[in-house]
Structure 1
Amino acid sequence: MNKIDKRSKLVLTGAAGLVGQNLIVELKAQGHTNLVAIDKHEYNLGILHQLHPDVQVIHADLAEGGRWTDAFAGAACVVQLHAQITGKHTELFTRNNIDATKRVLDAIDQHNVPYLVHISSSVVVSVADDDYTNTKKSQERLVVESGIPHCVLRPTLMFGWFDPKHLGWLSRFMAKTPVFPIPGDGRYMRQPLYERDFCRCIVRCIETQPEGHIYDVVGDTRIDYVDIIKTIKQAKGLRTLIVHIPYGLFHFLLRLYAMFSGKPPFTADQLKALTAGDEFHGIDTQKVFGFCQTPFADAIKESYCDPRYSSIVLRR
């Protein structure tokens, strides 16, 4: 295993997203000082720059060629975080998960960057069949077949600071509405992964550079969707009424909402994935990376009640 100095240059693609924002907090907390953040989302990149003026930020679309590739010169490691997660059109997923990745891999090869940490997703081993799943499978395959020394991390559904979607959106929605709808009985088992715990895994991979390893990183708490909602409600001290809606009606309402929203916070495809019945089996983070995961209730409280970053929300 190679090891890198904490002053070594690290390049993060898709750095202004959920994982990237949390990863920069964690990297700096662990003493890393030479960080380059690349992202095409101007508003989110602005948040990153405001929070971390010491980090070099580059506003660039990775699916297009440009001077952003120069930033890879002299890098000890690239962390590939960029991903299209939601969207209405296949072309968006192809452009941002496949085309952009090809350009990043070319830049790594051109500048002889010795190591890549690729952030994949648990969906690549799930039963889901949608644009996100299929393009993430292709993206991971590109990395594995690239010949670049690398490791792959496959996280499950994540939550934490800065989250504009998923549990973050549900948390904010619950605070605004007197009634919170749940599809069916809500007994859909989830294994949510706390973002800060996942970032600790990434930092360990950056520092030790295990070659060719694939890590399935799963939240070690198995909890039903309805109980996640109740945990958020309790952590925030809310009095919101939780109401169960028949699955078919819930699905219809999501499709109807998507007709009027360019970026629906929760889609019919995500509802299907929620109820697909996947159960993931991941690594023991204590044995592999040397730390125990944060208890779920504590992680929820820190995510949505901690004054440091809980009020900062990214745009989608």
Structure 2
Amino acid sequence: MTRTILITGGAGFIGSNFVHHWCKTYPGDRVIVLDALTYAGNLDNLKDLNAHPNYRFVEGNIGDRPLLDHLLASEQIDTLAHLAAESHVDRSILAPDTFIQTNINGTFTLLEAFRHHWVTQNTPTHYRFLHVSTDEVYGSLDHDDPPFSETTPYAPNSPYSASKAGSDHLVRAYYHTYQLPTLITNCSNNYGPYQFPEKLIPLICLNILLGKPLPIYGDGQNVRDWLYVLDHCSALDRVIHQGTPGETYNIGGNNEVKNLDLVQMICQIMDELAPSLPVRPSQQLITFVKDRPGHDRRYAINAHKIASQLHWTPSVTLEEGLRATVEWYLDHPHWWQPLGAYIGLAE
């Protein structure tokens, strides 16, 4: 069955990778991308698709209900993949109102528009509303705690994670109240091509190339589970096609590593692949900075449910994914150099 899919936030990091994945995997499907093109949205992420006959880009905000109603009806959307979000924790600490507006109010507007469209079409059973969320809604783990599962109580610790938790609850409520065919995924930290340079891995890669300090919060012992973005896209694909409406699926990379160890791995790969670095060895650039407020100590995902029920597991090791990511940034200076004003922000 072919689908007509609306992908929100499709010019962002995960969104653009997902758009590429869908267009390549299902060339016969109609793909509509909606993005407000805020600072992290970049049309260069999608320029390779401009000649694709079934691809259309629309600049607009997920809070614009008339626009949503028009798109859903005129394009006869049957699948909505909601990836639009404000996602940088530091920014949420400085300006939480934007996160509430986009992540909670925007998700509510999408749900209402999609529900109206679904009812207008006589509630077809193949329609899907996928809400892409984060493991940060579960809070922080101690060193010996078991990983987050789908039944872990929510305990968000930043305005960002609280806004995503609120949107998760709305999506869940729309399934239980209206039987809207929703799906929720909670993923671990993503990395890979097209990631905006305020995030840790691209920041480290680009600062090494520029000979700038490599900022690490606190003592560098915070632990994250890292998921290669193309693995994440394949998991979202699997959830849309095989997931059970009303269910939540955790998506992890099975790659827990301390921030300091991660940065050292990137330094080693960079030293190997980039012989003309301004500072070698690049580990000399590591600089510890004041920890951020409410910095969660450890995230870890138990992805047993998606593995056992949908038969999905990540295909890329952390070493393989980091090497591919470093190579991408080395090969795409034309992509990241215009973003130079943002390079140097902390994780």
The structural deviation recorded for 1:119 is: 0.3
RMSD of Structure 2 on Structure 1 (CA): 2.6
The structural deviation recorded for 1:8 is: 1.4
Contact kept, 8 Å, 1:303 with 1:310, in 2: the verdict is: no
2:139 is aligned with what amino acid?
Answer: S
- How far, CA to CA, are the matches of 1:227 and 1:202 in structure 2? 28
1:51 is matched with which residue: 48, 53, 75? 48
2:20 alignment partner in structure 1: 25
- How far, CA to CA, are the matches of 1:291 and 1:125 in structure 2? 21
Is residue 15 of structure 1 aligned with residue 10 of structure 2?
yes
The structural deviation recorded for 1:306 is: 3.5
Contact kept, 8 Å, 2:8 with 2:34, in 1: the verdict is: yes
SS state at 1:146 partner: helix
SS state at 2:58 partner: strand
The structural deviation recorded for 1:76 is: 2.0
2:44 is aligned with what amino acid?
Answer: I
1:35 alignment partner in structure 2: 31
Contact kept, 8 Å, 1:120 with 1:152, in 2: the verdict is: yes
- How far, CA to CA, are the matches of 2:170 and 2:305 in structure 1? 27
2:58 is aligned with what amino acid?
Answer: I
1:104 is matched with which residue: 105, 110, 135? 110
Contact kept, 8 Å, 1:162 with 1:310, in 2: the verdict is: no
Is residue 157 of structure 1 aligned with residue 189 of structure 2?
yes
The structural deviation recorded for 1:42 is: 6.4
- How far, CA to CA, are the matches of 2:182 and 2:212 in structure 1? 48
SS state at 1:215 partner: strand
1:258 alignment partner in structure 2: none
1:94 alignment partner in structure 2: 100
SS state at 1:37 partner: strand
The structural deviation recorded for 1:146 is: 0.9
- How far, CA to CA, are the matches of 1:309 and 1:243 in structure 2? 22
- How far, CA to CA, are the matches of 2:298 and 2:82 in structure 1? 29
- How far, CA to CA, are the matches of 1:282 and 1:273 in structure 2? 23
1:20 is aligned with what amino acid?
Answer: G
Contact kept, 8 Å, 1:40 with 1:61, in 2: the verdict is: yes
2:158 is matched with which residue: 130, 144, 149? 130
Is residue 233 of structure 1 aligned with residue 263 of structure 2?
no
Instruction: Output one character per residue of 1:8-66: Cα deviation in whole Å (capped at 9) or x when no partner.
Output: 10111111111111101211221243100001006835224422112211100112333
Contact kept, 8 Å, 1:11 with 1:75, in 2: the verdict is: yes
SS state at 1:199 partner: helix
SS state at 1:27 partner: helix
- How far, CA to CA, are the matches of 1:236 and 1:245 in structure 2? 17
Is residue 204 of structure 1 aligned with residue 238 of structure 2?
yes
- How far, CA to CA, are the matches of 1:18 and 1:26 in structure 2? 13
1:79 is matched with which residue: 70, 78, 81? 81
Contact kept, 8 Å, 1:218 with 1:283, in 2: the verdict is: no
- How far, CA to CA, are the matches of 2:193 and 2:165 in structure 1? 27
SS state at 1:66 partner: helix
SS state at 2:11 partner: coil
How many residues are paired up?
A: 290
Contact kept, 8 Å, 1:156 with 1:219, in 2: the verdict is: yes
Contact kept, 8 Å, 2:65 with 2:113, in 1: the verdict is: no
Question: Could you list the runs of 5+ residues in structure 2 that have no partner in the other structure?
Answer: 119-123, 141-155, 272-276, 343-347
The structural deviation recorded for 1:232 is: 1.3
2:95 is aligned with what amino acid?
Answer: H
SS state at 1:190 partner: strand
Is residue 120 of structure 1 aligned with residue 133 of structure 2?
yes
- How far, CA to CA, are the matches of 2:242 and 2:267 in structure 1? 39
Alpha-carbon spacing, 1:141–1:42, altered in 2? closer, same or farther (3 Å): closer
Comparing 300-309 and 75-84, the one that deviates more:
300-309
1:145 is aligned with what amino acid?
Answer: A
TM-score (norm 1): 0.82
2:61 alignment partner in structure 1: 61
The structural deviation recorded for 1:285 is: 5.6
SS state at 2:220 partner: coil
Comparing 220-229 and 206-215, the one that deviates more:
206-215
- How far, CA to CA, are the matches of 2:168 and 2:225 in structure 1? 22
The structural deviation recorded for 1:102 is: 1.2
- How far, CA to CA, are the matches of 1:310 and 1:197 in structure 2? 21
Alpha-carbon spacing, 1:162–1:245, altered in 2? closer, same or farther (3 Å): closer
Instruction: Output one character per residue of 1:232-251: Cα deviation in whole Å (capped at 9) or x when no partner.
Output: 122222521346656xxx22
TM-score (norm 2): 0.76
